[in-house]
Amino acid sequence: MLQTINIRTQKRTELVDITAEVAEAVKRSGVQSGLCHLFLPHTTAALVINENADPSVAIDIAESLDRLIPWDFDYRHQEGNAAAHIKSSLLGNSLTIFVEEGKLLLGRWQGVFLCEFDGGRARKVVVKVVEG
Ligand code: ZN
User: How many whole angstroms from 79 Cα to the centroid of ligand 1?
Assistant: 5
Task: For residue 77, report the distance from its CA to the centre of ligand 1, in Å.
Answer: 7
Along the 132 residues of the chain, how does pLDDT read in single tens digits?
999 999 999 999 999 999 999 999 999 999 999 999 999 999 999 999 999 999 999 999 999 999 999 999 999 999 999 999 999 999 999 999 999 999 999 999 999 999 999 999 999 999 999 999
CA 75 to ligand 1 center in whole angstroms: 11
Check: CB of residue 129 under 8 Å from CB of residue 4.
no
pTM listed for this prediction:
0.96
Going by C-alpha positions, the residue among 43, 126, 50, 49 that lies closest to residue 88 is: 43
d(CA 43, CA 61): 19
All structural domains of the chain: 2-131 (2.60.120.460)
Strand partners, 14: 116
Question: What are phi and psi for residue 16, nearest 5 degrees?
Answer: -105, 125
Distance 44 CA to ligand 1 centre (A): 7
Within 10 angstroms of residue 127's Cβ, the number of other Cβ atoms is: 23
Longest C-alpha distance within the chain, in Å? Answer: 50
